[in-house]
Amino acid sequence: MEAAVALTGDARGRAASQPGDGGEKTPPERKVYMDYNATTPLEPEVIQVVTEAMREAWGNPSSPYPAGKKAKDIIDTARDNLAKMIGGKPQDIIFTSGGTESNNLVIHSVVRHFQHTRSAEGDGAVPHLVTCTVEHDSIRLPLEHLANEQVAAVTFVPVSKVSGQVEVEDILAAVRPATCLVTVMLANNETGVIMPIAEISQRIKALNRKRAASGLPVILVHTDAAQALGKRRVDVEALGVDFLTIVGHKFYGPRIGALYVRGLGELTPLYPMLFGGGQERNFRPGTENTPMIAGLGKAAELVTKNWEAYEAHMRDVRDYLEERLLAEFDKQRIHLNSRFPGTERLPNTCNFSIRGPQLQGRVLLAQCRTLLASVGAACHSDQVDRPSPVLLSCGIPFDVARNALRLSVGRSTTRAEVDLVVQDLKQAVARLEGPPGARGASS
């Protein structure tokens, strides 16, 4: 298979392999990284353009002489590449430090815009924002903060326990006269569930036409596409969104990001969070990080060129992983937490639990000698023993959610690595449960 051959011939994803110390008799234990939703390694081509830019494009992009011009050209090319990746216009992209900043920028901007436009009308209303219960913390926490400060009202719409998705009708039902933003992620980082963003945008657009006649504020639609980019086609026209968050380190790019804003500053207002030297047309000032922007552009170019091959390869390996899990463990013991009948999901994500009183996700992972994965969002890795609120929101029972592991495969993960991981899990379970008679003794 072309994709597999092209994608597996290097050391990516095996960066965690332990080097031998030279004198040991037994080979070092092989590590297999399956946490690509947490972060991805840089593609070699990305490292190359980052390095070149560091060496050769160090000029200030705002300087009028050749060194500055060279840096500016690199930034323009990267912007073009990002725009192509999402089917948007280059002038609608601004560079940010990452997903957290892009998400915060959208939220704070719509609140500022509401305050500017509505306070002139003196109706005293606070802006209202709608989101769902499984968003990343970089959406949830700024919204909770604004609500706690009574600067905004927020509705967290529960996701369906049947589909794992937020239902379009539930989003619409949450809308109020003062609603100015709907923000729903494109793909969930823990389950991989794809949210119905195109349908939400369409319905909100139709509603906006009616609201305009009554003098109500326009509702803008934002999607956080951090997890979807590089794993499936993402197109801002098909999605119909006003804002879209881009995160480089989820698609083999550097740890910066960008924000797409439809008709930036003309159709869609954007209020900066920072004030400074005028870069990014004042929407996000600060001297541009040319090398990282160059790398982000290269990573985007690779996605545009290869996303179908990436998707097919990841789906093949992930489906094989699920098949092997069901074959190697008693089917009754495996619960595939991210499979909701009829719901689309990311091609690389497998969230599952092995039932058993001793098999809490963290405990099991700690027993694994090969597998490197997580129990949920990487940023919650310090929260011991609490099952993922995302899984609980999706209707996964407490005892099952407590045992959950999130495995996410990447461009270079192989079926042979899946075999190693499944054996590793079997051995870890056997060590935790002891001989058959001991099973369940410590519950």
Shortest CB 100 distance to ligand PLP, Å:
3
Q: What is the 3-state secondary structure (H, E, C) of 52-107?
A: HHHHHCCCCCCCCCHHHHHHHHHHHHHHHHHHHHHCCCHHHEEEECCHHHHHHHHH
Mask of contacts with ligand PLP, 368-407, x by CB under 6 A?
A: ----------x-----------------------------
C-alpha 427/C-alpha 371 separation (Å) is 12
* Beta strands 179-183 and 220-224, pairing class: parallel
Q: How far is the CB of 388 from ligand PLP (least distance, A)?
A: 13
Residues 234-253 that bind ligand PLP (CB under 6 A): 247, 249
The answer to whether 414 contacts ligand PLP (rule: CB under 6 A) is no
> Among 83, 226, 229, 296, which residue interacts with ligand PLP (rule: CB under 6 A)?
226
Q: How far is the CB of 245 from ligand PLP (least distance, A)?
A: 7
Whether 13 and 413 have beta carbons less than 8 Å apart is answered as: yes
Of the pair 142, 291, the CB lying nearest ligand PLP is at 142
Residue number of the CB closest to ligand PLP reads: 99
Q: How far apart are CA 63 and CA 82, in angstroms?
A: 24
Which CB sits closer to ligand PLP, 360 or 408?
Answer: 408
Q: State the nearest-atom distance from the C-beta of 286 to ligand PLP, in Å.
A: 16
Q: Which pair of structure tokens corresponds to residue 8?
A: 């597996």
| DSSP-derived secondary structure for 321-339 | HHHHHHHHS-GGGEEETT-
Determine the Cα–Cα distance for residues 325 and 48; give it in Å rounded to an integer: 38
- Our CB check for ligand PLP shows the closer of 252 and 329 to be 252
Q: How far is the CB of 101 from ligand PLP (least distance, A)?
A: 7
379 is annotated as an active-site residue:
yes
- What are 100's two structure tokens? 């957290």
Q: At what angle do helices 290-328 and 66-86 cross, to 10 degrees?
A: 30
Distances (CA, A) of 332 to 164, 328, 354, 355, 422: 21, 11, 9, 8, 17
- 174 or 187, CB closer to ligand PLP? 187
Quick one: which of 227, 337, 360, 408 contacts ligand PLP (CB under 6 A)? 227
Considering the complex, what minimum distance in angstroms separates the CB of residue 279 from ligand PLP?
A: 20
Distance CA 259, CA 262 (A): 10
Single out the residue of 8, 138, 201, 374 in contact with ligand PLP (rule: CB under 6 A): 138
Where helices occur in 184-286 by DSSP H, the ranges are 197-213, 236-239
For ligand PLP, the closer of residues 191 and 227 by Cβ is 227
Element housing 130 (H / E): strand 128-132
Q: Does 224 bind ligand PLP (CB under 6 A)?
A: yes
CA atoms of 302 and 290, how far apart (whole Å): 18
Closest CA to 398 of 326, 441, 337, 330: 337
Q: Give Dmax (Cα) for the chain.
A: 78
- One character per residue 152-191, x = contact with ligand PLP (rule: CB under 6 A): ---------------------------------x---x--
Decide if residue 292 touches ligand PLP (CB under 6 A).
no
Among 8, 40, 100, 201, binds ligand PLP (CB under 6 A): 100
DSSP 379-405: GGTT-TTPPPHHHHHTT--HHHHTTEE
Candidates 156-164, 223-231, 235-243, 319-327 — which segment interacts with ligand PLP by CB under 6 A?
Answer: 223-231
Q: Which is nearer to ligand PLP, 136 or 222 (CB)?
A: 136
Active-site entry in 180, 350, 368, 379:
379
When binding is defined by CB under 6 A, the residue of 13, 61, 99, 127 that contacts ligand PLP is 99
Q: What does the block give as tokens for 441? A: 């003794």
Nearer to ligand PLP, 70 or 250 (CB): 250
Shortest gap between Cβ of 373 and ligand PLP (angstroms)? 15
Residue 136 makes contact with ligand PLP by CB under 6 A: yes
For ligand PLP (CB under 6 A), the number of binding residues is: 13
Cα–Cα distance measured from residue 354 to residue 368, given in angstroms and rounded to the nearest whole number: 14
* Shortest spacing between CB 226 and ligand PLP, in angstroms: 4
Q: Return the residue of 13, 41, 61, 98 that touches ligand PLP, per CB under 6 A.
A: 98
> Rule CB under 6 A: which residues touch ligand PLP?
98-100, 136, 138, 185, 189, 224, 226-227, 247, 249, 378
**Catalytic sites, residue numbers:** 379
